[in-house]
Amino acid sequence: MFAQQQLVVYPAQGVGQIERVEKREVGGVSSTFYIVRIASNNVTLMVPVGNAKNVGLRGLCSKETGHAILEALRDRSGFTSHTGQNWNRRHRDYSERLKSGDLQHVALVLRELLLIGLNKELSFGERRLLDQAMGLVTLELAHVLGRSQEDVRAEIDEIYADTLQAHVKQSV
């Protein structure tokens, strides 16, 4: 069970804080809910306490996992470009990974999209997924590592400086 004021992660939404735990009657049935305010967009979610695990609500990753995620983002081995692969299939796969709530899966989406950006200009849909993955990864890592989101973003930007430079050149 999560406590009031605890930071949690809701899949595809990111880091939020449990504002309170309250009982409400919905459809004639009394249930207990976590009231979670998402940090990135100030949205408030009601998550049934009994269903929190099933919807993927989880605590923040450990500091060790945070460092491991940054190291995984540095590792470019084993990546094969997805150029030529059906974009619809990739989009569906990436969307599912983002919805999983697993930070490692989200970081892999981020890594793949940054590396794909080395070879081609990202489409609008790819850029949207990249922005979503970047936001989810950087916000959680910022909280876990005790840094600002901008600082974590700057580190990832530095790791992929050649990717970002290639994208800027293609855009100009």
| 96-149 residue pLDDT tens | 999 998 999 999 999 999 888 877 888 899 999 999 999 999 999 999 999 999
pTM of the model: 0.86
Beta carbons of 114 and 166 less than 8 angstroms apart: no
Whole-number Å distance between alpha carbons of 86 and 90:
6
Whole-number Å distance between alpha carbons of 7 and 66:
15
Beta carbons of 60 and 144 less than 8 angstroms apart: yes
Higher pLDDT, 2 or 164: 2
Mean residue pLDDT of the chain comes to 89
pLDDT of residue 170 exceeding 70, the answer is no
Same fold, 7-59 and 63-171: no
- CATH code of the region 7-59: 2.40.10.170
Instruction: Return the domain boundaries, the chain.
Output: 7-59, 63-171
Closest Cα partner for 12 from 57, 51, 54? 57
The CATH T-level fold of domain 63-171 is Methane Monooxygenase Hydroxylase; Chain G, domain 1 (1.20.58)
Tell me 51's DSSP state.
Answer: G
